[in-house]
Amino acid sequence: MKKWLLALLLLPTLVLAEDTLDTGDTAWMMISTALVLLMTPAGLALFYAGMTRSKNIINTYAMVMGAFVVAFVVWIIAGYSIAFGTAESAAVQNVIGGFGNVMLSGISWNELSGTYPTYVFIAFQGTFAAITVAIASGSAIERMKFSSWMLFVILWGLVVYAPITHMVWGGDGAYLFDEGALDFAGGTVVHMNGGLAGLVLAVLLGRREGYQKTAIKPISIVLTAVGAALLWFGWYGFNGGSAFGANAIAGLAVLTTTVATAVAGVTWMVLEWIVYKKPTLLGIASGIIAGLVSITPAAGFVSVGGAFIIGIVGAVFAFYGVTVLKKKLGYDDSLDAFGIHFLAGLWGAIATGIFALNDQDLLWDGPLKASGDRMGQIFVQFESVLIVGLFTLVGTVVVYYIVSALTGGARVDEETESRGLDETSHGERGFNF
């Protein structure tokens, strides 16, 4: 055989030997990115829109979809750099990654993150940034100016989301990462963060007119149920993709996600049967989301048994938050972003330390992996939820007041609220009948 022909036949082998790109991992990460994208402008938007009133359904959907597109642009401009860049100062690196990768400067199109392109990682993480702030919209619907919301999305993504992401997932030098906090796919970064931001908005905006005095009926529970189903479908990219490859850990995350979600849906249904004598479709959908949220920080770390317990307790926490705590404290968390996302996310983050398998191939660096110190790991988990909670609380308050000052107040006037934000803010109707 001629030498040139032999070289040609061996070329693919030589290329693979020199390049660490894995086509299976790359394909999985691109699919996961698409799945997480589906979660926001389709899943979350429908889930929220179905629970609002007919006069605000367009505005509710627009707040979620608008948040996604704006937040993703902000992520590319500076969010990624703050979250995953490298700061020159070690002290700064504890909290943010710096501004060396603004507009993705310094990152080549063919650069790799492990076994797949860095550009895919950037897109994947951008969908996380977008859904996190969109979650918060559920607490502010029917009374927040759309202009104020859009500005809030921009500032909050830079001031709150990106630094928290860096502290938890930013690698060596990032504060909570170095402490050994375990958060597989976003219990603290996404759900506690977005849910608590929602509560802050709900409190600062004030209650909707007629809240707890007149019935506020959802336009379509069916739309909400469809949204929940799409969220569950997309969550396989959310949790499975956080294994960063088509591997056994992704398989574990897919199974634990399914188990926790199903058992949480059953738990909420049983609780409603016991308390209200009737199981509702909205309750089953809410239980599903509570299960998804609860298992997110633990999905790649726990056994099937751990997933069962996490799902059951997560549903109980969220059920209490939605049906009891909100009434006791009197805040108007319109669509229960705090009750479900924050409380279930809080439980999931702590439960990760309790139920994580002491398996060196599963765990990130931390007390449990380093020395089998489970109590030390649980302590770190408590530390992480405390730091994230305080940072989100203070950061969201600051951002809100800046936005309110720049937009002449963040809340719509009484007439606009009474007529509904669909026609007054967007000139559209959700249903022409």
Kindly report, residue by residue over 70-126, the tens digit of the pLDDT.
Answer: 999 999 999 999 999 999 899 999 999 999 999 999 999 999 999 999 999 999 999
Tell me, yes or no, whether 156 lies in a domain. yes
Is the pLDDT reported for residue 37 higher than 70? Answer: yes
pLDDT recorded at residue 213: 82
Tell me, yes or no, whether 8 lies in a domain. no
Tell me, yes or no, whether 13 lies in a domain. no
Tell me, yes or no, whether 17 lies in a domain. no
Confidence of residue 127 (pLDDT cuts 50, 70, 90): very high
d(CA 147, CA 145): 5
Cα angle value 151/152/154 (rounded, 5°): 65
Rounded to the nearest integer, the mean pLDDT of the chain is: 94
Grouping H, G, I as helix, E, B as strand and the rest as coil, residue 247 is coil
Q: What is the mean pLDDT of residues 274-281?
A: 97
Contact 375, 383 (CB under 8 A): no
Tell me, yes or no, whether 269 lies in a domain. yes
Tell me, yes or no, whether 11 lies in a domain. no
pLDDT recorded at residue 19: 59
pLDDT recorded at residue 430: 92
Q: Which of 148, 199, 151, 156 is nearest to 413 (CA)?
A: 148
d(CA 267, CA 265): 5
Reading the block at residue 349, the tokens are 């983050």
* 232-266: burial string, b at 16+ Cβ within 10 Å, e else: bebbbbbbbbbbbbbbebbebbbebbbbbbbbbbb
Domain assignment of residue 370, given as a range: 23-426
- The answer to whether the predicted template modeling score (pTM) of the entire model surpasses 0.85 is yes
Tell me, yes or no, whether 127 lies in a domain. yes
Is the pLDDT reported for residue 433 higher than 90? Answer: no
Tell me, yes or no, whether 4 lies in a domain. no
**What's the CATH code of the domain at 344?**
1.10.3430.10
Q: Structural domain tally of the chain?
A: 1
